[in-house]
Amino acid sequence: MGRAFVYVILGGGVAAGYAALEFTKRGVSHGELCIISEESVVPYERPALSKGFLLPEAPARLPSFHTCVGANEERLTPKWYKEHGIEVVLGTWVKSADVKRKTLLTATGETISYKFLIIATGARALKLEEFGLTGSDAGNVCYLRDLADATRLVDVMQSCIGGNAVVIGGGYIGMECAASLVINKLNVTMVFPEAHTMARLFTPKIASYYEDYYIAKGVKFIKGTVMSSFDMDSDGKVTAVNLKDGSWLPADMVVVGIGIRPNTALFEGQLTMEKGGIKVNGRMQASDSSVYAVGDVAAFPVKLFGETRRLEHVDSARKSARHAVAAIMDPEKINEFDYLPFFYSRVFTLSWQFYGDNAGEVVHFGDFSGNTFGAYWVNKGNLVGSFLEGGSKEQYEAISKVTRLRPAIEDLGELEKLGLGYALAESQKLLQPPPPRDGGDSALVLDKRPLYAWHATAGVVVAASVAAFAYWYGRKRRRW
């Protein structure tokens, strides 16, 4: 038993939805495209799960956050896929793949063949058992990766309002879930081995700001240690979390957020791997020319830094999926993927954005006792990364533009003094013809690249219009 399609997307996460929309924009015919997903629902915006989905009042629920509303585009409901002739195979596990034969074998015994395959299998949450611990199957221990996880977390959370919640991990999931637990009136303690929260991105100074904010909301932090075991009751529920430093914490529920691992097992030994993911080129094409990989699972060349990276964020998933489809459908016109790494988060009333790379020396700026502050990273004489909390639309656009330009920085002290004003000033230069080279010295030197004033002005006008609509629409949907 088998079926054949021209295009198959394996995986039903964010990337799959954005790829499907791009296929329809580029004229895919009815019956040519198939999506295979282990989840029981069509693709949705995963960030909603750790934000609006966990709110106690008017929480986000499907179908409100199906893709592609995260980019202010069509909402792809089950009806949409049917109307566009896209076969969606839900709740189905693929147990093996044969890249040479271009076939996938499902757990039900069906063989699905393809001409082009897009691997959008994403990643799975790391479990305690992978660190030699037990307890993941306890009735009040929660993970958060998919809709089923989020639904279970809400049920457990609502059953112990006013109780004690322990969050294991100080990264994205830990920070966002801790905020939601507080909003739901639980007493929250975060436990993690690093010296501060979001250790992969935040500097100690930036982390201190958020930790102080969380502490003011009642969150407790236990740093520099990890859990060693759980105490359980006769019903198989955790009653306490024991830590390696010898202390223990009473617990009515536990949320575990200790990282993710890309789902590459089906293709190991068949495709080239790098940095824990499937290695692809600038067209998102794997070592087999009929296979493309996108999102968390793809290790792709970041042109800005001249190296291959694997990025775990929704923005990368959305954009890499669209690029892969463009490369498949219109290969003669598509350029290499030129992606500026981008990360963001929203917790409580806070909202930050980061662009580029957090390598090199750090220059902090702004009012760390107020609402708006940030940092630049300068590596080998060039600005390579920018972080901003509490910025406006214009300010976030400015740090994005200046990071992509990679301007040369000669004086870190001057950069610190100018702060956010530096990004705003340099982004405005894009509207003007480049000044003549006069050999003059400057404390801050921007790399001079050819700019065409008419194109730049027209582009900015269009971008401003799109951004204004996105800002208006985004405020409407900000709850998730």
d(CA 20, CA 321): 9
HEC secondary structure over 114-178: CCEEEECCCEEECCHHHHCCCCCCCCCEECCCCHHHHHHHHHHHHHCCCCEEEEECCCHHHHHHH
Q: Once rounded to an integer, what is the mean pLDDT over residues 292-304?
A: 97
The answer to whether 345 touches 197, Cβ cutoff 8 Å, is no
Q: What is the DSSP string of 268-280?
A: BTTB-EETTEEE-
Q: What is the model's pLDDT at position 1?
A: 73
Percent of the chain with pLDDT over 90: 88
d(CA 125, CA 54): 18
Q: How far out from the chain centre does Cα 346 lie?
A: 12
d(CA 6, CA 98): 16
The b-or-e profile of 274-301 (16+ CB within 10 A means b, else e) is eeebbbbbbbbbbeeeebbbbbbbbbbb
Three-state SS at 80: helix
Using alpha carbons, select from 194, 203, 201, 202 the residue that is nearest to residue 221.
194
Neighbours of 176 (CB within 10 A): 21
pLDDT at 471 exceeding the cut of 60: no
d(CA 362, CA 259): 25
Q: What is the model's pLDDT at position 453?
A: 42
Q: Name the region of 4 (left: φ>0; alpha: ψ -120 to 50; beta: rest).
A: beta
pLDDT digits (tens, 9 = 90+) for 326-358: 999 999 999 999 999 999 999 999 999 999 999
pLDDT digits (tens, 9 = 90+) for 213-261: 999 999 999 999 999 999 999 999 999 999 999 999 999 999 999 999 9
The letter for the amino acid at 152 is R
Percent of the chain with pLDDT over 70: 89
pLDDT at 477 exceeding the cut of 70: no
The answer to whether 71 touches 44, Cβ cutoff 8 Å, is no
pTM over 0.85: yes
Cα–Cα distance list, 102 to 16, 98, 112, 263, 326 (Å):
19, 6, 9, 19, 21
pLDDT digits (tens, 9 = 90+) for 183-192: 999 999 999 9
Token pair in block for residue 376: 């630049």
CA 400-383-260 angle, to 5 degrees, is 65
d(CA 56, CA 81): 31
- The β-bridge partners of 221 are 190
Token pair in block for residue 231: 């105490």
For residue 59, is the peptide bond before it cis, meaning its omega torsion is within 30 degrees of 0?
no
Confidence class of residue 452 from pLDDT cuts 50, 70 and 90? very low
pLDDT digits (tens, 9 = 90+) for 367-401: 999 999 999 999 999 999 999 999 999 999 999 99
Query: CA end-to-end span of the chain, whole Å?
Result: 42
What does the DSSP 8-state code read for residue 285?
B
What does the DSSP 8-state code read for residue 426?
H
Three-state SS at 323: helix
How many CA atoms are closer than 13 Å to the CA of 228, on its beta-carbon side?
Answer: 8
In residues, how long is the chain? 480
Question: Element (H or E) spanning 22, and its range?
Answer: helix 14-25
d(CA 170, CA 259): 10
Do the strands 373-379 and 361-366 form a parallel or antiparallel pair, or are they unpaired? Answer: antiparallel
pLDDT digits (tens, 9 = 90+) for 126-157: 999 999 999 999 999 999 999 999 999 999 99
Q: Once rounded to an integer, what is the mean pLDDT over residues 89-101?
A: 97
Confidence class of residue 417 from pLDDT cuts 50, 70 and 90? very high
Q: Name the region of 63 (left: φ>0; alpha: ψ -120 to 50; beta: rest).
A: alpha
Q: Once rounded to an integer, what is the mean pLDDT over residues 417-430?
A: 92
Using alpha carbons, select from 203, 177, 220, 224 the residue that is nearest to residue 368.
203
